[in-house]
Amino acid sequence: MRKQAAGGLAALLSTSGLLLGMMASTPASATAHLANATGRTLVIDNSFELVTADPGHMFEPTGELVCNALYDTLLTFNGGNFKTVVPDLATSYQTLDGARKFVFHLNPAAKFSDGTPVTSADVVWSLTRLINLKGNPSFLLAGETITADGPETVVMTSAQPNPGLPYILPNPATGTLEQKVVAAQGGTDAADAATKDTAEDWLNANSAGSGPYILKSFSTTSQVVLVANPNYWGPKPAYSTVVLRNTATAAVEKLDVQRGVNEIAIDLDPSQTTGMSNVQIKMGPSPNVMFLFANDNPKISKITPNHDFQMALRYGIDYAGMLQLAGAGAVQSPGVIPTTFLGALPARDDAKYDLAQAQAWLKKSGLGHPSLKLTYPTAITVNGLSFDDAAARVAQYISQIGINVTLQPQSVEIGLGTYRAGTEALGLWYWGPDFPDPSDYLVFAPGHLVGLRAGWTAAEAPTIAALANKAAATTGIAARQAVFEQYQEALNQNGPFIPLLQPAEVVVGTTGLKNLQANGLWLVDLRNLG
Query: Could you tell me the CATH number of the domain that includes residue 257?
Result: 3.40.190.10
Neighbours of 28 (CB within 10 A): 10
Confidence (pLDDT) at 25: 31
Q: Whole-angstrom Cα distance, residue 127 to residue 147?
A: 10
Confidence label for 400 from pLDDT (cuts 50, 70 and 90): very high
Rounded mean pLDDT of the chain?
92
Q: Is residue 529 part of a domain?
A: no
Mark whether 299 and 242 lie in a shared domain: no
Q: Is residue 280 part of a domain?
A: no
Each residue of 488-530: pLDDT tens digit? 999 999 999 999 999 999 999 999 999 999 998 999 999 999 8
Q: Whole-angstrom Cα distance, residue 302 to residue 311?
A: 16
HSE-up of 275 (CA within 13 Å, CB side)?
Answer: 4
Confidence (pLDDT) at 459: 97
Each residue of 156-209: pLDDT tens digit? 999 999 999 999 999 999 999 999 999 999 999 999 999 999 999 999 999 999
Mark whether 197 and 335 lie in a shared domain: no
Q: Is residue 530 part of a domain?
A: no
Of 121, 122, 127, 128, which Cα lies nearest the Cα of 191? 128
Domain residues for 471?
289-502
Neighbours of 366 (CB within 10 A): 9
Of 45, 73, 50, 44, which Cα lies nearest the Cα of 63? 50
Each residue of 445-482: pLDDT tens digit? 999 999 999 999 999 999 999 999 999 999 999 999 99
Each residue of 338-376: pLDDT tens digit? 999 999 999 999 999 999 999 999 999 999 999 999 999
Query: Could you tell me the CATH number of the domain that includes residue 463?
Result: 3.10.105.10
The backbone torsions φ and ψ at residue 418, rounded to the nearest 5 degrees and listed phi first, read -70, -35
Q: Whole-angstrom Cα distance, residue 519 to residue 524?
A: 5
Mark whether 182 and 320 lie in a shared domain: no
Q: Quick one: average pLDDT of 225-252?
A: 95
Confidence (pLDDT) at 18: 27
Kindly report the length of the chain.
530
Domain count, the chain: 2
Mark whether 212 and 300 lie in a shared domain: no
Q: Is residue 284 part of a domain?
A: no
Q: Quick one: average pLDDT of 288-306?
A: 98
Each residue of 88-123: pLDDT tens digit? 999 999 999 999 999 999 999 999 999 999 999 999
Mark whether 230 and 317 lie in a shared domain: no
Q: Whole-angstrom Cα distance, residue 275 to residue 263?
A: 18
